[in-house]
Amino acid sequence: MSAALAEDGRLQKIAENKQLRVCIWPDYYAISFRNPRTGVLEGLDADLARAFADDLGVRLTVVESSFPHFIDDLLADRCDIGMFAIGITPARVRQVAFSQPYLRSGIYAVTSQTNDAVRRWEDLDRIGNVVAVQSDTYMDGYARASMKAARIVGVNRPQEREEEVQSGRADAFLTDYPYGQRMLAFHPWARLIVPDVPVQPTPYGYAVAPGDAAWLERVDAFVAAIKADGRLESIATRYNLTPIVVRD
């Protein structure tokens, strides 16, 4: 954070510049998904980013980012906040600050309709199986810590996970609830593996650069407001995300 920004505070800078710069990942189905037909961002956090800018009385500026890059983008002051269902993990908390959670998702797996070897969650971690994960996500950390028999393959592009499974190079890939719903909506070959007991439920929050308590407090106030006034529940229902809404 620059010395001037630290002195004046981000809220003041946002008011002065009359813009809220929001980092999003534009390929996160039901969260911040750029519709390939219209080019318009759709999803829970796409809508809530617009709502937050409206609440602040400023214009919204979208900054495209990703899970591997959003921390650098925040620390380099390329955006004021990350709003794309970012998992609150210990590794990330050491580098950036998070709002109170508004979503919580466990881990799911996606395999192909024709893969008879993987029918249940317990089938994943078997010798000979290959499980793909997107690098720098909490699914990556979970797989490498918890799966002892299967081979874990990290990929960088989100689409690489489904490419690995569809091609047969991987038996399954790990993901969260929103992306699992995307797979079912767009890929008839895909089958979702839902564990009997939730696996590593992870809270999702909004991320900001550390060191600005007033800005984090304002973000938390927005999260509290959308829970209390029904906006979170209403928009989540629109995008079929009701099962992972945090209401307390």
pLDDT digits (tens, 9 = 90+) for 92-122: 999 999 999 999 999 999 999 999 999 999 9
Beta bridge partners of 202: 105
The domains located in the chain, with CATH, are 3-104+202-244 (3.40.190.10), 107-193 (3.40.190.10)
A 10 A CB-CB count for 220 gives 15
- Euclidean distance between the first and final Cα of the chain, in Å? 32
What is the pLDDT averaged over residues 190-205? 94
Q: What is the pLDDT of residue 8?
A: 63
**3 pLDDT exceeds 90?**
no
Q: What is the pLDDT of residue 44?
A: 98
d(CA 126, CA 35) in angstroms, rounded, equals 37
d(CA 202, CA 187) in angstroms, rounded, equals 26
Predicted TM-score (pTM) of the model is 0.83
Q: What is the pLDDT of residue 207?
A: 98
> For the sheet containing 27-28, what is the strand order?
27-28, 32-34, 41-42
β-strand pairing of 151-155 with 108-112: unpaired
What is the pLDDT averaged over residues 162-185? 94
Look at residues 97, 79, 93, 90 and name the one whose alpha carbon lies nearest to residue 32. 79
Task: Please answer whether residues 201 and 245 qualify as being in contact, where contact means their C-beta atoms are separated by less than 8 angstroms.
Answer: no
**C-alpha separations of 51 from 22, 44, 47 in Å:** 12, 10, 6
d(CA 80, CA 137) in angstroms, rounded, equals 21
